[in-house]
């Protein structure tokens, strides 16, 4: 009975630790689009903006086409 | 330099670039690292769409020269130089500055002439010595 309880606690702790590590790892991978112009200016469009929601699906199509064309 | 050679050099120097296509203002594929021609055209079509959609959001009269679209699956880079464009894909979180540098170098290399073979120079003695022609009496 004690062995089962220890196994359950250990498993739960492992799942929790893995979830926290995964979330920490993906926090930095925010989707964005960076635009660079001939006057030296740069605009960074974060995900969630209307323009980005138009551009990112096109980018994903390009990635899929490149992956499938190998 | 030949566009295919420039792309081959690009892939050699940049391990992050997974696929690259050079195209012109009319969206014609000039050279591609993608084996499938139809996929190359699809890539170029989407890149043109991405460029025009991004240009529409340009502030003022500034011209868009390059862009990076970063997704969880990888990044898409598009670079514009005079009449040529280059679209490339990488894995997630590439070294952006380095990739842009390599892509722009590739496009600039397309404008350079191929290295000419050095001509063999005749020495003064070789110039003076008469050449024997067929049928000459010896």
A12-64 confidence digits (pLDDT tens): 888 888 877 766 555 556 899 999 999 999 999 998 888 899 999 999 999 99
**Rounded Cα–Cα distance for residues A35 and B68 (Å):** 7
Q: What integer pLDDT is reported at residue A20 of this predicted model?
A: 72
Q: What integer pLDDT is reported at residue B91 of this predicted model?
A: 94
Q: Do B42 and A51 touch (CB under 8 A)?
A: no
Which residue of A lies nearest to B48 if distances are taken between CA atoms?
A58
Q: What integer pLDDT is reported at residue A21 of this predicted model?
A: 72
Q: What distance in Å separates residue A56's CA from the closest CA in chain B?
A: 7
Q: Does A46 touch chain B (CB under 8 A)?
A: no
Q: Does B114 touch chain A (CB under 8 A)?
A: no
Q: Do A37 and B47 touch (CB under 8 A)?
A: no
Which residue of A lies nearest to B87 if distances are taken between CA atoms?
A62
- Using the Cα atoms of residue B16, residue B21, residue B22 and residue B25 in order, give the sign of their dihedral: negative
All residue ranges of chain B with pLDDT < 50 are 133-138
Which residue of B lies nearest to A29 if distances are taken between CA atoms?
B72
Q: Does B2 touch chain A (CB under 8 A)?
A: no
Q: Does A65 touch chain B (CB under 8 A)?
A: yes
Q: What integer pLDDT is reported at residue B131 of this predicted model?
A: 59
Q: Do B36 and A33 touch (CB under 8 A)?
A: no
Give B46's contacts in chain A (Cβ within 8 Å).
Answer: 58, 61-62, 65
Identify the burial level of A51 via C-beta atoms within 10 angstroms of its C-beta, where 0-12 means exposed, 13-18 middle and 19 or more buried: middle
Q: What integer pLDDT is reported at residue A28 of this predicted model?
A: 55
């Amino acid at each position: 009975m004690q062995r089962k309880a220890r196994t359950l606690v250990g498993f739960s702790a492992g799942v929790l630790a893995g979830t926290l590590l995964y979330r920490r790892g993906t926090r930095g991978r925010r989707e964005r689009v960076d635009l660079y112009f001939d006057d030296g200016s740069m605009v960074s469009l974060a995900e969630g903006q209307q323009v980005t929601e138009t551009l990112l699906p096109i980018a994903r199509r390009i990635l899929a086409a490149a992956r499938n064309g190998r | 330099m030949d566009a295919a050679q420039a792309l081959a050099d690009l892939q050699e120097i940049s391990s992050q670039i997974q696929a690259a296509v050079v195209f012109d203002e009319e969206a014609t594929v000039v050279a591609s690292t993608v084996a499938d021609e139809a996929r190359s055209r699809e890539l170029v079509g989407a890149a043109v769409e991405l460029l025009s959609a991004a240009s529409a959001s340009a502030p003022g009269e500034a011209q868009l020269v390059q862009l990076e679209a970063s997704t969880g699956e990888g990044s898409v880079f598009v670079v514009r130089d005079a009449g040529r464009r280059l679209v490339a894909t990488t894995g997630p979180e590439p070294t952006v500055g380095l990739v842009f540098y390599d892509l722009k170098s590739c496009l600039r290399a397309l404008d350079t002439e191929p290295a000419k073979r050095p001509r063999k120079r005749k020495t003064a003695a070789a110039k003076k010595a008469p050449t024997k022609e067929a049928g000459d009496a010896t």
